[in-house]
């Protein structure tokens, strides 16, 4: 039996025994988080990447010059069970109704993990988000600021979710250190290399096949391919209730090989993220993130490496039941060898303006405009390189 399988079975048995003991002590609490969301989007852009195209949004029209009104509905549910004062079990998933031609899963698991913790240490094991995002800070990795996530967090939502163990140490109020060993993210970078940066709020689920141009698919979150660990490290400096800055490094350490593994092509991806915010507990918040790295793939006779980077700056202000947010950002990809006819080159910008109205603690209405500029001239002749576009979204969300 492979070592990874034995480890998972041992972990599952240990958790079951722990839960039985904790449940018998009758010292347990349950907490539920859920969102029901309905969204109408007027989109002016070519077919979405979720339809097998190269459009930058989760929804799209027929051509770059066309427009369409698209309805998308979703339901998210998360459960936290705390059977004792040192153990938490969490799981969350999503169900959705998407635009016609959609190629992904309509129902699936997003996270499932166990936490063992005390005042200074936390050990997390399972499938989970890395704590890098400064905009997706609400329950179930949602954003209080905008409907559409930044290019960075749209990509993380699609391809970056470790399956492993994370150890975090907080010796005081001001410093937090964390390290992660993970598997199951060996194809990270495939979507980014195939169709560039995109904008949306699509959360991939476990074992979900995602569409690529050229009628192919990739599985971002699934079984490990190479029996090797990827690693992540982070350092966070905080002024409690006022500001924070975090430095993180992520490396999946996937092999550069000319042969697919278990039917999937691994991409060796590593990148750094610097994230910061100020005023997140007050009426005015400033948040920013910058990420830079590379992704590489092998093929018979050689390999290809693509460099990428992106950054955004977000400003948000709350007054009464209203929240106004604005975000500006830039993004780029390029062949690491910098050839004059670089088919991987893209450089673009985006800006977002969003208004949120909370009629109650559970009810929220949002209106948002997003504009993205930036073509991808090296895309296949089968696709139009004009990937700029815009969306106007009206959303209602009920939380429970």
Average pLDDT over residues 360-367: 95
Question: How many degrees, rounded to 5, is the angle at CA 287 between CA 390 and CA 89?
Answer: 100
pLDDT at 26 over 80: no
Residues 6+ apart with CB under 8 A from 65: none
Looking only at the bridges linking them, the beta strands covering 268-278 and 284-299 are antiparallel
- Rg value, the chain, Cα: 21
Residues 6+ apart with CB under 8 A from 135: 143, 145, 146, 149, 150, 153, 287, 289, 314, 327
What number of other Cβ atoms are within 10 A of residue 352's Cβ? 24
pLDDT score recorded for residue 381: 75
Average pLDDT over residues 378-395: 88
C-alpha to C-alpha distance for 382 and 213, rounded to whole angstroms: 9
Between the alpha carbon of residue 387 and those of residues 327, 347, 379, the distances in Å are 20, 11, 10
Q: What is the pTM of this model?
A: 0.91
Average pLDDT over residues 58-83: 95
Task: Note the helical H segments in 267-375.
Answer: none
Going from the N-terminus, what domains does the chain have, and what CATH number goes with each?
28-399 (2.40.160.10)
Block residue for tokens 């979507």? 191
- pLDDT digit string (tens) for 199-242? 999 999 999 999 998 878 999 999 999 999 999 999 999 998 89
Q: 282 or 15: which carries more pLDDT confidence? A: 282
């Amino acid at each position: 039996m492979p070592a990874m399988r034995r480890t998972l079975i041992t972990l599952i048995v240990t958790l079951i025994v722990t839960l039985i003991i904790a449940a018998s002590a009758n010292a347990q609490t349950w907490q539920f988080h859920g969102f029901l969301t309905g969204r109408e989007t007027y989109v002016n852009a070519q077919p979405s990447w979720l339809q097998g195209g190269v459009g930058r949004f989760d929804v799209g029209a027929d051509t770059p010059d066309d427009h369409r009104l698209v309805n998308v509905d979703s339901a998210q549910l998360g459960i936290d069970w705390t059977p004792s004062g040192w153990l938490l079990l969490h799981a969350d998933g999503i169900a959705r109704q998407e635009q016609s031609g959609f190629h992904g899963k309509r129902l699936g698991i997003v996270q499932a993990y166990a936490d063992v913790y005390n005042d200074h240490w936390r050990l997390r094991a399972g499938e989970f988000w890395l704590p890098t995002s400064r905009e997706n800070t609400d329950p179930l990795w949602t954003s209080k600021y905008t409907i559409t996530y930044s290019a960075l967090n749209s990509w993380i939502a699609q391809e970056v979710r470790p399956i492993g163990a994370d150890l975090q140490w907080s010796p005081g109020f001001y410093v937090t250190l964390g390290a992660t060993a993970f598997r199951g993210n060996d194809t990270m970078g495939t979507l980014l290399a195939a169709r560039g940066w995109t904008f949306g709020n699509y959360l991939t689920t476990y074992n979900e096949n995602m569409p690529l141009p050229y009628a192919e698919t990739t599985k971002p979150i699934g079984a490990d391919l190479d029996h090797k660990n990827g690693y992540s490290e982070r350092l966070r400096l905080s002024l409690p209730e006022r500001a924070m800055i975090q430095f993180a490094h992520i490396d999946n350490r996937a092999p550069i090989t000319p042969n697919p593994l278990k039917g999937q092509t691994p991409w060796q991806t590593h990148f750094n993220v610097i994230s910061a915010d100020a005023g997140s507990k007050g009426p005015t918040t400033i948040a920013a993130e910058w990420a830079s790295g590379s992704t590489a793939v092998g093929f018979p006779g050689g390999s290809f490496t693509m460099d990428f980077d992106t950054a955004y700056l977000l400003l948000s202000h709350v007054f009464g039941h209203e929240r106004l947010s604005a975000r500006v950002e830039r993004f780029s990809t390029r062949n690491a060898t910098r050839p004059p006819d670089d088919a991987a080159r893209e450089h673009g910008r985006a800006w977002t303006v969003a208004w949120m109205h909370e009629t109650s603690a559970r009810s929220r209405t949002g209106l948002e405009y997003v504009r993205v500029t930036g073509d991808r001239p090296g895309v296949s002749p089968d696709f139009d390189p004009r990937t700029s576009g815009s969306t106007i979204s009206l959303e209602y969300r009920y939380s429970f």
